[in-house]
Amino acid sequence: MPVHNGYTVRRDPGERGLRRRRRTWSYLVLIGLAVFFLFPLVFMVVSSLKPDGQILSDVGGWRAFLPVGDIGLHNYAEVFDRVPVGRFLLNSVIVTVVIVVAGLLVNSMAGFAISRLRWTGRGVVLSVIIATLIVPFETIAVPMVYWVSQLPTLLFQNGRIEYDFGWLDSYQVQIIPFIANGFSIFLFTQYFSTIPTALDEAARIDGASWFTIYRKIVVPLSGPAFATVAILTFLPAWNQYLWPSMVVQDEKLRPVMVGMQYFFQDNTAWGEVMAYTSMITLPVLVVFLAFQRAFVSSVAASGIKE
């Protein structure tokens, strides 16, 4: 029983029952929402185990969400026969990992400079960075294709370094335009602003440089922000479709999302489509489940300022 000012306070049994019922209903609602949002994933995985005819016949009922009937892994075998899944996955992993790692470094340093350093015009710079978020990528995609086709590049051929123009059909054209991100810089700026500046002043008195403060003080205290930016960078980098379709024609350099084209060229094999999407969705789920706690705490911390 709770004690208040030396007196034992008896709780009303009706109040305890009301709280218990509210908690029960809250859990039931949350479980119901979780099951509702899991339906598409369950349908995708279950359909990947069925032949096309059974997928279409089961769509109208609960059998669409149950692994019943003629099930097997034949669709997955057909996927590997139709497209170079391993190569597409490797390309996406390379592009995504480089974008995430380089983006964390570049965007966090930019956020540190805006939030911790004192220099004229930083508010204007932050406003311009935020303003870039309202520009749809589709509006600048075609001009970007022209500019990347004119950029210089170095080629290593036959043991010699050769100079050429054009980034098309390369890894860098899929990586470099997406390293800097306005929202990531804004999120880092907001989160870094919550760290007491007294730590910076104490470190400066001890002779630490700004980069040392960034590396040894701010970064270790900003794990949730880094996890959030990693997730928010990983998802669009992994799901890129429009840009690689425009700048990459070499099959050896295509990412997984461009590989979806292969399943809609002739007769659509829905079982193979579901098998392919199941395989390329798995890394996204693994990354999100690994960082979900840090993601939630960072969003809550970066959105509230005292």
Q: Which range, 33-42, 107-116, 227-236, 277-286, is most confident?
A: 107-116
Q: Give just the sign of the alpha carbon dihedral 95, 98, 101, 106.
A: negative
Burial track 36-58 (b if 16+ CB lie within 10 A, e otherwise): eeeeeeebebbbbbbbbebbeeb
Q: Which position has the token pair 């022209």?
A: 146
18, 33, 36, 55, 291 from 30: Cα distances, Å: 18, 5, 10, 29, 20
Indicate the pLDDT class of residue 304, thresholds 50, 70 and 90.
very low
**Which of 8-17, 149-158, 286-295 is the least confident region?**
8-17
Residue 163, helix vs strand vs coil: strand
Give tens-digit pLDDT for 85-104: 889 999 999 999 999 999 99
Q: Record the tokens describing residue 265, joined without a space.
A: 């060229």
Q: Give just the sign of the alpha carbon dihedral 235, 286, 245, 144.
A: positive
CA angle 168, 172, 176 (to 5 degrees): 120
Least Cα distance to 276 among 64, 88, 94 occurs for 88
Identify the bridge partners of residue 262 per DSSP, sorted by sequence position.
none
What proportion of the chain, given as a percentage, has pLDDT over 90?
Answer: 28
Least Cα distance to 297 among 209, 187, 198 occurs for 187
286 close to 302: Cβ distance less than 8 angstroms: no
In the DSSP assignment, the letter for residue 69 is S
CA gap 176, 173 in Å, rounded: 6
In the DSSP assignment, the letter for residue 20 is H
Pairing of strands 7-8, 3-4: antiparallel
pLDDT above 60 for 2: no
pLDDT at 1: 52
Higher pLDDT, 26 or 109: 109
pLDDT at 306: 41
Average pLDDT, the chain: 84
Burial track 204-225 (b if 16+ CB lie within 10 A, e otherwise): eeeebebeebbeebbbeebebb
User: Does the model's pTM come out above 0.75?
Assistant: yes
Give tens-digit pLDDT for 17-46: 778 888 888 888 888 888 888 888 888 988
In the DSSP assignment, the letter for residue 179 is S
CATH of domain 83-302: 1.10.3720.10
Mean pLDDT, residues 273-281 taken together: 90
pLDDT at 153: 77
Domain boundaries, the chain: 1-82, 83-302
257 close to 240: Cβ distance less than 8 angstroms: yes
CA gap 161, 283 in Å, rounded: 37
Whole-angstrom distance between the N-terminal and C-terminal Cα of the chain?
Answer: 36
Mean pLDDT, residues 178-194 taken together: 92
pLDDT at 5: 54
Mean pLDDT, residues 167-173 taken together: 88
In the DSSP assignment, the letter for residue 11 is P
Give tens-digit pLDDT for 112-166: 999 988 888 888 999 999 998 898 888 899 999 999 888 887 666 666 666 677 7
